[in-house]
Chain A
Amino acid sequence: MPEPKIVVKNIEKIFGKNVDKARRLVESGTPKNEILEQTGCAVGVFDASFEVYEGETLVIMGLSGSGKSTLIRCINRLHNPTRGKVTVDGTDVTKLNDEELRRIRQEKFAMVFQRFALLPHRTILENAAFGLELQEMELEKRQEKARDALKLVGLEGWENVYPEQLSGGMQQRVGLARALAVDTDILLMDEAFSALDPLIRAEMQDELLALEDRVQKTIIFITHDLDEALKIGDRIVLMKDARIVQIGTPEEILKEPATEYVKRFVENVDMTKVLSANDVMLKAASVTVGKDGPRTALHMMKERGISNLFAVDKSRRLRGIIAADDAEKAVKEKAKSIEHIILDHEAYKVQPDTPLEEIMPLMVDLHVPVAVVDEDNKLVGIIVRGSILAGLTTKENDETTETA
């Protein structure tokens, strides 16, 4: 594993004066609202630890009030954590003085906000250049960079209008441009798309994903929307009541929810978006062209009770599919080779990481299995209707066995 870009260690943020007492209460398992009653302290985040790696998109997700916004603010110290350590590229952010903190905010962090937080009295260009202006970069240079950033988010030509003239989605693009213009390694996105309507939101998510390919950024993304988390996140940190309840890849979280809470949370997720071919494919039975004859093929099909079989060459590259009827005919004709009965199968090949969402429509009209091939066109597995159903219901089965 490479060195993490950001290390968050035992971060705690308790708002209020009676921090020690509140901490003891949290440790003894007292719920947040009781602590608030007894001490007047609000527990924002308690004992949060995780790492973020270079180029990774980490999603912190939880319902409102779960402490995710507080947590992200502890990283660039918009909130001062009451305990714990945040290390960015080896620098302990919690120990910096005001001047050093300002510098690290300028050099390392850029942030995008839920309610855009643009300056209404400035044009789009001036807004996008704001971060650079704070760094006292000269006018022409910063405008040039701001223009580039605006181009990146598709706002070319809007430089001289004011934020209130733009739609929410466009305003957030300006927010994103402002964050990209300063060209920091780390992007903090606090519910960046939550205020947008669903269509624009999906569009922005896609663009963020596309952007990630073009600009190498380490992103910490906050959301309360699991679908968004699953779509964007390389890994997800799940929070509840100021604590982290699970950290893992989207799949890990969906397949092995660590607690009852996570399980309930993920219940309503559309699994077809999460699972990929890899998760539902079966081991492929196949015949090898040039080695196996039609008799072998027919035998295999009969044994397995299937009516189609994939044919591969000697290095397991997919050649096509053989139907039982054709194989039977070939046997009757006493053919030695299966070469001439292979049907071309280009259209029904998918990659292991193809999401189920895209495979399902293929299956509808298809009477043969879908082949899963790797980048060398080598057959790694097959998907039949039954395997998809099995994949989708696994989660529920687990649940029943556990609760039983």
Chain B
Amino acid sequence: MKNLALYTIPIKYMLIYVVLILLSGLWLFLLSQGLDSSESLMHTIKNIISTPEIKSMEGIIEVATPHLFAMGTMIFVVAHFMLFSTKISQKVSLIVAMLLFAFALFDIFSYFAITFGLVVSGWIKLLSMLLFVLLFLVMLGMVGFSL
């Protein structure tokens, strides 16, 4: 096989696409919490912490179902490129990838805790999203560094 370096082109673009998917996902979540009608981003975040939007079980499952498939697939596709890395050990890649899967599940299911009344504040959703997005950016950085 020749020109294996050509395979780095799709991987580089994939990193950009994933960042845009994460950003649009964050934006969508903030819109669902009233960003469009409220004064500012900070105001919306304070609203989420104090009084998160009430969602029905149907609404949560409608969001959770495609995200379980899409987030799982996306983590797998991005993380599997670390198999070919010569700069970062597979042990580190394994830890980051498994944490990423755990944070993705935490993110998807955190709103259930609010709906079931286990927590009153929306901090749990904010924390889970933040952890997931930040760790995904770390994973993307690792793939980018390995190219």
Does B bind A?
no
Chain A contacts to B: CB under 8 angstroms: none
